[in-house]
Amino acid sequence: MPNIRLRITGMTCEHCARSAEDALNALPGVEAVVSFADSLADIRTPDPLDQGLLLDALAAVGYRAEPMDDEAPWANIPGNDGLHIAIVGTGSGAFAAAIRAVEEGARVTLIEGADVIGGTCVNIGCVPSKIMIRAAHLAHLQAHHPFPGISAHTPAIDRVALVRQQQARVDELRHAKYENILAANAGIELVRGWARFEDTHTLSIACADGTEKRITADRILVATGSRPAILDIPGLSDTPYWTSTEALASTRIPGHLTVIGASVVALELAQAYLRLGSKVTLLARSILLSREDLAIGEALVRVFEEEGARVLLHTVPESVSHDGTEFVLSAGAEEIRCDELLIATGRQPNTDRLHLPAAVETTANGAIVIDDHMRTSVEGLYAAGDCTQQPQYVYVAAAAGTRAAINMTGGEAALDLNVLPRVVFTDPAVGVVGLNEQQAREQGMETDARTLDLENVPRALANFETRGFIKLVTEKKTGHLIGAQILAPEAGEMIQTAALAIRNRMTVRELADQLFPYLTMVEGLKLCAQTFNRNVEQLSCCAG
């Protein structure tokens, strides 16, 4: 009987080893002994036996294995024999890069100093925030829906139960999308500890047990993400202020929450807490969403104020203190007292503890400067995601990670960010892509634009939700669509249609001639496109 030795990944205890052993011994004629300590399976098999049956049996019970011979998964891919890539970080960009690099034939070492893998999005960002926003939206609808035939009432909020459910889904997704993938991929090794550069190919890892580990790699990718940026306000550092991390995890709904910030995180969390029962004061350094079309920020001020929030524009506190019970903010002649203070004024890259090589070009705040191939100014050193000057969106980080892996393994892949759809999950939501009028003018373009209020969109009327608008911007000479700004309940679901139209250089007339299903909110894009040549108020429903 032939002898086979397999390296098994994914086992966490002796029980796992027994489970793997039972799965192998269940195959006809197979005799297997599995060692948890060595992560090995020693197997005697009948001849002949397809080794794939062994791997499939282990995969069925949750483990990945590879033969302990020359048939490692990267060994037979031309050009990458023995190529070793080290990736600092385990977020979306890092994992996308790791998976693709192994597919391209490399061996990958992931390095993570935090307690959990997965980065910001799944753990303390996108996923928990959208769960919280959805719960707050449902609470708001119970008390403020537009249908008189259904009794409205203010619901009782059990924040402890909401946070428990939220964290359970976070844990589930992290396990499915990160931990399981890591366990199932024999080409990826995880090293726990904080990394710093010794030279352009060598990393020193400070492990949790106090030891140091040195890793030398052919290529290194930095994908360390970002963290909340904190304003330099006198007294703030001595107070127990919240960042988004604490705001999402808090099991208490504050009586009065003050939010300093005016962009995505600030607006999403401010409205969520407002709808869960907090009194909310929002302080903006300038205006809301200052990088977007001015009409969006102006409309959101009205939305927040209609829902009971207080919005103070062009306001930053001169000082902050905490008396043991309350925060006290001095803002001009006014004193603001609140139970909790959320600082949501942007994010800064996690690069300060890396000891980056001096030749690596960075911005003033430490973001690593990269080109469209994710190459830094140092040969063999790449970066992706929020630690770079790229837009800080998880889907940008993942796309960058994949392309970085292709390039690190000898390929040629660029990341084109010219058409980048963006969403703010307020209610109504914000969806934007391409250029607004001001941005186009700054590029020397002559534009034409139309704005359609949601009162002219049949689905919005049917929903009794007409707050918002759709705005399309074209290049006047050619009629090509170059930008879209949407404020609508389903803006996040609508904006990709506009993005595809811009990507494919459609004219506004071509967009107007497309067939859109009725009744849908995205039909509003067609209606807005029609306003460039027609008065939609004079058209029948679903007019073609």
Active site residue ranges: 11, 13, 16, 63, 121, 126, 541-542
| CB distance 109 to 86 below 8 Å | yes
Distances (CA, A) of 254 to 159, 165, 258, 279, 299: 11, 20, 10, 8, 26
Please tell me the distance from the alpha carbon of residue 520 to that of residue 428, in angstroms, as a whole number.
Answer: 16
Please tell me the distance from the alpha carbon of residue 33 to that of residue 19, in angstroms, as a whole number.
Answer: 11
Please tell me the distance from the alpha carbon of residue 5 to that of residue 15, in angstroms, as a whole number.
Answer: 20
Burial of 36 (0-12, 13-18, 19+ CB in 10 A): middle
260: left (phi over 0), alpha (psi -120 to 50) or beta: beta
Task: Return all residues near 45 (Cβ < 8 A) that are at least 6 apart.
Answer: 1, 2, 4, 29, 30, 31, 54
Task: Return all residues near 254 (Cβ < 8 A) that are at least 6 apart.
Answer: 273, 278, 338, 339, 340
Distances (CA, A) of 65 to 37, 69, 107, 240, 258: 15, 12, 15, 47, 52
DSSP per-residue codes, 125-185: SHHHHHHHHHHHHHHHHHHH-S-TTS---PPP--HHHHHHHHHHHHHHHHIIIIIHHHHH-
DSSP E strand stretches across 401-446: 422-424, 429-434
Identify the sign of the CA torsion 388, 390, 393, 396.
negative
Q: What angle do CA 314, 317, 318 make, to 5 degrees?
A: 120
Buried b vs exposed e over 432-465: b needs ≥16 C-beta within 10 Å? bbbbbbebbeeeebebebbebebebbbbbeeeeb
Please tell me the distance from the alpha carbon of residue 410 to that of residue 398, in angstroms, as a whole number.
Answer: 19
Residue 82 DSSP symbol: T
In three-state secondary structure terms, 304 is helix
Please tell me the distance from the alpha carbon of residue 342 to that of residue 280, in angstroms, as a whole number.
Answer: 11
Q: What are phi and psi of 398, to 5 degrees?
A: -65, -45
Cis peptide leading into residue 428 (ω within 30°): yes
Task: Return all residues near 109 (Cβ < 8 A) that are at least 6 apart.
Answer: 84, 85, 86, 87, 188, 189, 190, 191, 215, 217
Dihedral Cα 458, 462, 465, 468, nearest 10 deg: 0
| CB distance 139 to 275 below 8 Å | yes
Q: What is the CA radius of gyration of the chain?
A: 27
